[in-house]
Structure 1
């Protein structure tokens, strides 16, 4: 064999080796892509905060602005997601046991940090006011001091942490003036129920004097329950509160902490590029609503 033929043979062997290596790399990449597509379903819990999140009885699915936002971000991460609606106390117990991966609209509280990775970004920000039956609305601002003086019966949702100013104004029977999880030994003016919907029904039927609730949630519920003509609210904002979507530390979902970090990054980007607000506006427009 001539030297030239040897050289050609060497080049041919090298090309074959390069082809084999390229095929192996492509196969590995396809395998990784397939693994990404086979990412396990991630369970997100919801508790009633319409229009931000709620169970839609017409569709049989969890619906709301937050659902659209969360779906949008997980789609960017190629992670399938499923939503389940539960009352707050049930949702919180499920998270503590690690039987779900995340929970929408769980406010930041020190006792909860044992079970949750809290992001800095909020899914939404609320403004709390007192709601009242229009026929019984006093000519007041609607602040804590006025409600204390009147001795009114105030409706709250069991398990909601509200705000430090609220608990200072209406401390527990023990005298504790800050939120205590799972403690139902409320101030004598407070009356706890399971859901916000029940609160507004109780106002309408004169079983409650006032209800403390987020304004956007309250307005949505009043409208959906057909109570627009009978239930109103005071304009005074008692407090504002950000609601994030923390992830469950007890969950066995693979690399959930990294997923939580990536979710927060994409949420921040969506707020920066305007896609978050477009999702909010599109949901409201589809339902003929305005906040």
Structure 2
């Protein structure tokens, strides 16, 4: 009797041990299943990337009706960053303020900043342009003369020429109208202009000053000038000389002083996608769609 009871006790112990083992195996399998069934942790999202804009309508400008930065370039930049899955924010500033922001590393990129040697310490310049401009002299129709519209003619007439402070324009322009100190190339932040030049803060002011005959001509990109003239209701009052003084490509460089993670690589990828968009036709489609939405034709 004692012997059989011992056998039963040992059997009970075995059964109990097997049950414990089964329970442990069940718990472990549940944990493994739970771990494998959970979605893999997603890579951290890119932080918002800040792009500065200064007034170059219709390519880029602050839309007072929407309270947002608008324009052809905005659609293009949004399209490319969407492909890169990077959120982007646009902020409008006058050029001089925008340039100071870039130098301090308080933004990641700036649309339509032309290539200038003094800017290179602060910017990564791409080879590909965001857009290309054509600069001409605009004039009030009642003051327009039978001229080609060249630098030489304006010098001979001693015309008052309006420009935007901080714009680098072109080497041909500064050669024709050097600074007071004789410098014949662009000097950042220098307002000691040739005696025929008069600087203002924005392109809009240029055309208002033509209308009120405070300038004889203003130097501006043709597409921007035509847009502003229509926006200001001055299409019957202001015209331009046909002669194209220079062509100028405007890229979107990225700020070296920004601490945005991996910004150099992002800049390189942006340029690659911009070039691809021009090759596959999506770039021109974005341009045409923006103009169509706004009832414009350039």
Structure-2-length-normalised TM-score: 0.88
Among candidates 42, 54, 70, match of residue 63 of structure 1: 70
Q: Which runs of 5+ in 1 are unaligned?
A: 1-15
Q: CA deviation at 1:245?
A: 0.3
Aligned to 1:46: 53
Looking at structure 1, the residues matched to 201 and 264 of structure 2 have their Cα atoms a distance apart, in angstroms, of 31
The residue that corresponds to 1:4 in the other structure is none
Aligned counterparts of 2:196 and 2:138: Cα–Cα separation in 1:
15
Aligned structure 1 segments of 4 or more residues deviating by more than 3 angstroms: 19-22
**Residue 225 of structure 1, aligned match among 222, 227, 232:** 232
Please show how residues 87-126 of structure 1 align to structure 2 within 5 Å.
87-126=94-133
Pairwise CA RMSD: 1.8
Which one of 108, 132, 146 corresponds to residue 139 of structure 2?
132
1:255 counterpart (251, 257, 262): 262
Report the 3-state secondary structure (helix = DSSP H, G, I; strand = E; otherwise coil) of the residue aligned with 1:168. Answer: helix
Aligned counterpart for 2:36 among listed residues 20, 23, 26: 23
Matches of 1:267 and 1:31, distance apart in 2: 27
Q: Deviations over 1:85-139 (max 9, x none)?
A: 0000000000000000000000000110100000011110000000000000011
1:174 to 2:144 alignment? no
Provide the rounded CA distance (Å) in 1 between the counterparts of 2:257 and 2:151: 38
How far apart, CA to CA, are the structure 1 residues paired with 2:268 and 2:35? 34
The separation in 2 between residues aligned to 1:167 and 1:213, in whole angstroms, is: 14
Instruction: Quote the residue 1:3 is aligned against.
Output: none
Q: How big is the shift at 1:31?
A: 2.3
Post-superposition Cα deviations, 1:132-169, rounded to whole Å, max 9, x if no partner, equal 00000011000000000000000000000000000000
Q: Using the TM superposition, give the Cα deviation of residue 20 of structure 1 relative to its aligned residue in structure 2, in angstroms.
A: 6.6
Tell me which of 231, 238, 242 is aligned to 1:235.
Answer: 242
TM-score (norm 1): 0.90
Displacement of 1:27 after TM fit?
Answer: 4.3
Among residues 171, 190, 201, which one is paired with 1:194 in the alignment?
A: 201
Partner of 1:84: 91
**How many pairs are equivalent?**
271
SS at match of 1:31: coil
Equivalent runs, 1:261-272 vs 2, <5 Å: 261-272=268-279
The unaligned stretches of length 5 or more in structure 2 are 1-28
Correspondence for 1:156 among 147, 156, 163? 163
> How big is the shift at 1:23?
2.6
- Measured in 2, the distance between the counterparts of 1:141 and 1:31 equals 62
CA distance in 2, matches of 1:21, 1:76: 34
What is the CA-CA distance between 1:21 and the residue it aligns to? 12
Measure, in 2, the Cα distance between the counterparts of 1:185 and 1:282: 42
